[in-house]
Structure 1
Amino acid sequence: MSEIIGKESFKHVSYLWDHAKAAELAGDEVALLLYRSNLLGADLRLTNYGGGNTSCKAIAKDPLTGLDTEVMWIKGSGGDIGTLTRSGLAALYVDRLRSLENVYRGIEHEDEMVELFNHCIYDLASKAPSIDTPLHGFLPFKHIDHLHPDAAIAIAAAKDGKRITQELFNGEIGWVEWQRPGFDLGLKLRECLNDNPGIKGIMLGSHGLFTWGDTAYESYVNTLTVIEQCAEYLEANYGKKRPVFGGAKLADVPAELRKKQAAALAPVLRGFCSSERHMVGHFTDDARVLEFTNSNDLDRLAPLGTSCPDHFLRTKISPLVLDLAPDADLSDAEALKNALAPAFEAYRAMYKEYYETCKHPNSPAMRDPNPVIILYPGIGMFSFSKDKQTARVAAEFYINAINVMKGAEAISEYTSLPRQEAFNIEYWLLEEAKLQRMPKPKPLSGKIALVTGSAGGIGKAIAKKFVQEGAVVILNDLNAERLDGAAEEFKTAFGKDAYATAQLDVTNADQIQQAFDTASLAFGGIDIVVNNAGLSISKTIEDHTQKDWDLLYDVLVKGQFLVTQAAVQVLKKQAIGGDIVNIVSKNALVSGPNNAGYGSAKAAQLHLSRLNAAELGADKIRVNVVNPDAVISDSNIWAGGWAEGRAKAYGITVEELPAYYAKRTLLGEIILPDDIANACFALVGGLMKKSTGNVLNVDGGVAMAFVR
């Protein structure tokens, strides 16, 4: 088979198998399972993040008897096949798993079987087995793939999908009607195979695809071949019966306008979606999204919701479609909020009715009634969730759902899950138990922070601290090379969803606006702004030039003013409060030599902070100050002659400065960037949410800098 099949055989899926690499894994079926799984998960056309399941069965030594026994390795609960490792697998005795049929009491007692899976565990270090475990266990094949490919689900979700499947594959793919995953569905798959010996896969109505093989490679190729055939069939039918999605209702909008409108609207949407907890957003104007949102069929199809359970769990019962013209004037935030409020109220009412109509006596309490997916015709799609990754993945899932609707409509008529079935999935007690096992949110989960000058020194330490505590950040700096280095560092440490970047000169109003637009497009808005960017010049009054003076006041005072001004516009659009923290200095309070420009600019920053706190309190926007002193490590402030100037003022050498500064403090401590980061977190981490207008000294104790 390896000589016949190659990547040239596939147009609609990615053939990634490397025979040389696979040969290195020969004899280790589990390693081959992981290899196959990772390849399948690398192509989002085959399955979405966290979706689907893969397994293998192989002979292993029973640790109790020493005899050979058949063991099934399968992706554990909550895993992702694209990133699956051995630690993410569950391993179960096959004979014990199948023997559970003897105690199965019927579909009304389905959920109790999950606990019994634990009695079948072979490897005590196993991940918890997922609800899909019996679906793989009752099929006899050595290697099995259960995926959610768009092309297959389009057929599975078509009104006459069963007939199409039969005709397309000449009876070689079986069909099992929609049923919630569980023990009984595993028995139904076995029954389908027994009734149709020799089939090479099974289509699950509205759900997905099962395929298999005797080896990892045979399973991989069989899976790709079946999906390729589905995709070819859809492609041949696009536009044949009628234009895709009924044709375009709206003309294309230029990309620049789409981004402008999305950046203006995102904070308003985020405010509505954060009525119960802070949400992080994601925006995409992907061509597939625009084809759907600009179409005549949008109003008919969008309310139907999705079909595949994985799509539904991520995207909710249905999206909210905005009644806004693509070129609508979005400049008046209050008018915009008033215009959109009825749509959100109606969505929440719809969701409450859905819950009340479908709930069972033991259903969990109703969850957040706000939409996850919001469609803006002509502009694109917004998604909101607890963190950036979840919001981004929700958008990916809805694109999968769009692909499914497109395909189903091309060959037949799209059908979604019935509302009751959708509810039974969303409020499944096993799903609720999974949610309850999730780690407790970190203090800054759902928060978005912009720290000026965050590519080095104090700014980078603050940004790191915020990400470690759950926030996402907009990294920025005047120096592009320094910014690129920080971005690479954050990507390695925290992953791509933890940050966005913007080159920023805090004296440039256009760049400031672009930075906040970046925050809105990447994450939906802003919650925390730290005015940290700065520089220092130490000269006698005689040596100080007007250029020195202007530069200090431009960066420190005007920069803080302009950034705060732009931040307030976004914060007021959201109407969920926020934090502004200004990194000032001990020098704002202490008079010292050779410091007229820097010290007076710092004093202006301090008083500007007080003024802003007084003005913004009614909007729940807190403004507080951190006053550092002598933070030498990795700081730009010590470049450009400042260290030499301060050493000269004190009559010491530059090398003696750290010890000199520590010695003169009450605590005798050297101050580090992390100390300032911890102070910022103390102000924004939630424990001081009723405090504003404060000054927090982080200087080791300088009595002259005590606020009085």
Structure 2
Amino acid sequence: MTQGTINATVDELIARSNRLGADPTNTNYAGGNTSAKGTETDPVTGDPVELVWVKGSGGDLGTLKPAGLAALRLDRMRALVNVYPGVEREDEMVAAFDYCLHGKGGAAPSIDTAMHGLVDSAHVDHLHPDAGIAIATAADGEALTERIYGDKVVWVPWRRPGFQLGLDIAAIKEKNPQAIGCILGGHGITAWGDTSDACEQNSRWIITTAQAYIDEHAKAEPFGALLEGYGALPEAQRRAKAAALAPTIRSIASTDRPMVGHLTDSDVVLDFLARAEHTRLTELGTSCPDHFLRTKVKPLVLDLPADASVEDCQARLRELHEAYRADYAAYYERWADDDSPAMRGADPLIVLVPGVGMFSYGKDKQTARVAGEFYVNAINVMRGAEGLSTYTPIDESEKFRIEYWALEEAKLARMPKPKPLATRIALVTGAASGIGKAIAQRLAAEGACVVIADLDPAKAQEAAAEIGGPDVAVGVGADVSDADAVKASIDAAVLAFGGLDLVVNNAGMSISKPLLETTEADWDRQHDVMAKGSFLVSREAARVLIEQGLGGDIVYIASKNAIFAGPNNIAYSAVKADQAHQVRLLAAELGEHGIKVNGINPDGVVQGSGIFAGGWGAKRAAVYGVEEKDLGKFYAQRTLLKREVLPEHVANAVFVLCSPDLTHTTGLHVPVDAGVAAAFLR
């Protein structure tokens, strides 16, 4: 086989993987794996060598690239059969795959590698389609498989993924030459084919045939009758209640370690929670290993109707959380042995609230969102299984063996160290340009999820898109002088990311006039935006921070003018002094809740500044007798360090104040002015 043919084999595999992975009816995000076999010349011996290319550990089929494949020698893989020590020691076989690798680079082989290498077919797909798992988790799944597929698809009883499962499927393929694939009990499907196209067609046929059978034969209401009072609230009411409950639920989910959240209020979730059987089914937990590794074995379910008050829901959620933690600890104790990893945490990753929706949690927004997607997959699986039969997931002991698998622990240990602000959720006002935008960019770069609030919502959304999209940043409109608009922006933050940890009061404007030219309207407008605006933002943010009980940071972008008195600037400088004292007052009041409040006093930040571009620069330049274009240089020359202050310098200071290295500092004002002696703090 030529190099061009080899590349074509890999190209076909990638294209097939991307097509299958792009369709959520075929498999969940990062779920399943695909492979292709071919021949390459060994660069050492010059002899042909048979290889298998298989999706590596942790990759996603929909976005798979060649670097995400592991390439292994088939002769060495097949030789592992001779040294296989049996199911009690099969974890050792994953390490043995490393001795089968061909060439440099590539991904780490996954636990499913044996399935792909040992099955005698040029192309193999292993997928987690909802329809397929519905058959796999039905109480009579084996009989259903025969009824639906005849002898074209073979039932495989549940077995934990690994080398023995690969041997089992290889034996089934050999004994059933007419078969195109199998249903893996409790788990998913596997299909094979002589060509890449044939393999893909077989995978799709197994999935669509299962779905068609479910559609035709399932009972009308597999989740039971509607429960009175448990139906979905109207959208506006639902979102308002979700925002009110989000801080409490995040507090629950973050007891052991901080989490980022995601809200799913789709019809699938809301209808499930409105049905009589949802309590029984949620208690049974999920079945597919990919599902419960992301969602924990079962969710926390609020047992109150949709119209229950926020206060009643909060109180009941806290009670249920205590019971959930005790139940999870008992689950761990039931199945742990001396070799089991330590318990990783007893908090739920999925919280279900009737009438409102599902809150899902993870180490970042993407992980939280995907956990929610996986539980939607689980709901679809339960619907299919209950529609045809009775939903019967794998045994609890098997779930534990996978959740606390040594291989899973090793996989977690390989994950990169989190960034300093990972799991933190920030809201920055006035963040579509200038200092605010630089702050938002720096916080996101350090791992935070960021809400960009700005008077211009279109510019806020544009800035968020530049930073990285909805898993990293969202943009919202906010007039900080309007209490309702401020509350809406805080609600948007908790709905987008599950809560709030860090607030930067940066929104501002400047009216540069002498005393006698400053009107009452000028004074009121300046104070409405900056003094009142900072107060409103801090007040609404504090409600969330206190309810969460996770501490937090509030940072004010004040000014050198809060300390230093200059001419023709009465309204702006007075309001900056107001902000500076708000820092001290709030630091004193909020400290008991673990909330730090600090300020930054910049000066001369001309570059990228919306204030300077809006006329302030021209007026200040006139006061100092310089060209407007030279104002930044002028400010720099009057400093002790002779350096111009840029927006990123202010952003650096915000990061330091909120970083893990400055956890014991509150009530501080940090000058970022390149050294202005007259503005030294005294």
Provide the C-alpha distance between the structure 2 equivalents of 1:411 and 1:270, rounded to a whole number of angstroms: 36
Give the CA deviation at 1:247. Answer: 2.1
Pair 337,691 (structure 1): closer, same or farther in 2 beyond 3 Å: farther
Letter in 1 for 2:88: E
Structure 2 CA distance for aligned equivalents of residues 567 and 528 of structure 1: 9
- State the distance in 1 between where 2:511 and 2:137 align: 68
After superposition, the C-alpha distances for 1:474-510 in whole angstroms (9 at most, x for unaligned) are 11211233223213212xxx34300122111111111
Helix, strand or coil at the partner of 1:369:
coil
- Give yes or no for contact 1:500–1:518 (8 Å, CA) kept in 2: no
Residue 148 of structure 2 is aligned to residue 168 of structure 1: yes
1:38 aligns with 18
Verify the 8 A CA contact 2:461 2:474 in the aligned structure 1: no
User: 2:152, 2:179 within 8 Å by CA — same for their partners in 1?
Assistant: yes
**1:297-376 equivalence runs, <5 A:** 297-330=277-310, 332=311, 337-376=314-353
CA distances 1:565-598 after superposition (whole Å, capped 9, x unpaired): 1101111111111100000000000011111111
Identity over aligned pairs, percent: 51
Superposition deviation, residue 653 in structure 1: 1.7
Maintained 8 Å contact 2:452/2:473:
yes
Which structure 2 residues correspond to residues 48-197 of structure 1 after superposition, within 5 A? Answer: 48-197=28-177
Q: Please give the alpha-carbon distance, in whole angstroms, between the structure 2 residues aligned to 1:104 and 1:464.
A: 52
**Paired residue for 1:579?**
553
CA displacement 1:191-238 (0-9 Å, x = unmatched): 111221220111100101011222211111111111110000011123
SS at match of 2:36: strand
- CA distance in structure 1 between the partners assigned to 2:5 and 2:584 by the alignment: 65
Aligned AA for 1:355? Y
Relative to the length of structure 2, the TM-score reads 0.97
**1:436 aligned residue:** 413
Tell me by how many angstroms 1:324 deviates. Answer: 2.5
Question: Per the alignment, in what secondary structure is the counterpart of residue 145 of structure 1?
Answer: strand
Distance 1:25 1:617, change over 3 A: farther
Question: Counterparts of 2:514 and 2:644 in 1: how far apart (Å)?
Answer: 26
Distance 1:129 1:594 in 2: 69
2:226 aligned with 1:248, yes or no?
Answer: yes
Give the drift of 1:133. Answer: 0.3
Alignment pair present for 1:510 and 2:484: yes
Q: What CA distance in whole angstroms lies between the structure 2 residues aligned with 1:299 and 1:376?
A: 12
Count of aligned residue pairs for this structure pair: 677
Distance (Å, rounded) in 2 between the aligned partners of 1:481 and 1:387: 25
C-alpha separation in 2, matches of 1:25 and 1:285: 48
Matching residue of 1:607:
581
The residue that corresponds to 1:225 in the other structure is: 205
In structure 1, distance between residues paired with 2:7 and 2:471: 37
8 Å contact kept, 1:461–1:677: yes
Superimposed CA distance per residue, residues 320-354 of structure 1 (whole angstroms, 9 cap, x where no aligned partner) = 00123212221x5xx75443322101000000000
CA drift of 1:244 comes to 2.4
1:70 to partner: Cα distance: 1.3
Code of the residue aligned with 2:164 in structure 1: it is D
3-state SS of the aligned residue for 1:497? coil
Contact 1:270 1:524 in 2 (8 A): yes
Residue in structure 2 matched with residue 19 of structure 1 by the alignment: none
Residue 536 (structure 1) aligned with residue 516 (structure 2): no
Q: CA deviation at 1:360?
A: 1.8
1:470 equivalent to 2:447? Answer yes
SS in 1 for 2:516: coil
2:471 aligned residue? 497
Paired residues for 1:202-213 under 5 Å = 202-213=182-193
Q: Within 1, Cα distance between the matches of 2:592 and 2:348?
A: 28
Task: Report the Cα distance in structure 2 between the residues aligned to 1:501 and 1:658, rounded to whole angstroms.
Answer: 29
Alignment check: 8 A CA contact 1:304 1:318 kept: yes
- Deviation string, structure 1 residues 253-283 (Cα, Å, up to 9, x no partner): 2122211111110111101211122111111
Structure 1 letter corresponding to 2:535: F
Answer whether contact 1:461 1:673 (CA < 8 A) is retained.
yes
Q: What letter is aligned with 1:661?
A: Y
User: Which one of the candidate residues 475, 498, 502 is aligned to 1:524?
Assistant: 498
Specify the SS of the correspondent of 1:640. helix
Deviations 1:606-665 (A, max 9, x none): 011111111111111111001101111111110232111111111222122111110111
Would you say the 8 A contact 2:22–2:62 is kept in 1? yes
What pairs up with 1:262-277 in 2 under 5 angstroms? 262-277=242-257
Shift of 1:239: 2.5
Instruction: Give the AA of the match of 1:657.
Output: L
Larger mean Cα displacement after TM superposition, 181-190 or 193-202: 193-202
Are residue 417 (structure 1) and residue 394 (structure 2) matched? Answer: yes
Q: Which amino acid in structure 1 is aligned with residue 643 of structure 2?
A: E
Counterpart of 1:209 in 2: which secondary structure? strand
Corresponding position: 1:698 with 2:678: no
Match of 2:568 in 1: 594
What residue is the counterpart of 2:457 in the other structure? 480
**Which consecutive aligned stretches of 4+ in structure 1 deviate over 6 angstroms post-superposition?**
24-27
**Is the 1:25–1:31 Cα contact (8 Å) retained in structure 2?**
no
Contact 1:37/1:84, CA 8 A, preserved across alignment? yes
Q: Which amino acid aligns with 2:676?
A: V
**TM-score between both structures, scaled by the size of structure 1:** 0.94
SS at match of 1:28: helix
- Kindly state the Cα deviation for residue 102 of structure 1 after the two structures are TM-superposed: 1.0
Selected match of 2:360 from 383, 386, 410: 383
Alignment check: 8 A CA contact 1:175 1:192 kept: no
Q: Deviations over 1:40-61 (max 9, x none)?
A: 1111111111100001001111
Q: 1:25/1:545 Cα in 2 relative to 1: closer, same or farther (>3 Å)?
A: farther
Question: Post-superposition shift, 1:26?
Answer: 10
Where does structure 1 lack aligned partners over 5 or more consecutive residues?
1-23
Aligned-CA RMSD value:
1.4
Deviation digits for residues 10-62 of structure 1 (CA, Å, limit 9, x no counterpart): xxxxxxxxxxxxxx999701001001101111111111111000010011111
2:538 maps to which residue?
Answer: 564
Q: Which residue of 1 aligns with 2:602?
A: 628
CA distance in structure 2 between the aligned counterparts of 1:693 and 1:26, rounded to whole angstroms: 64
Q: What is the match of residue 675 of structure 1?
A: 649
Name the SS for the 2:635 alignment partner. helix
Q: Is the 8 A contact 1:448 1:527 kept in 2?
A: yes
Q: Distance in 2 between matches of 1:219 and 1:195?
A: 19
SS of the counterpart of 1:639?
A: helix
1:378 and 1:336, CA in 2 relative to 1: closer, same or farther beyond 3 A?
closer
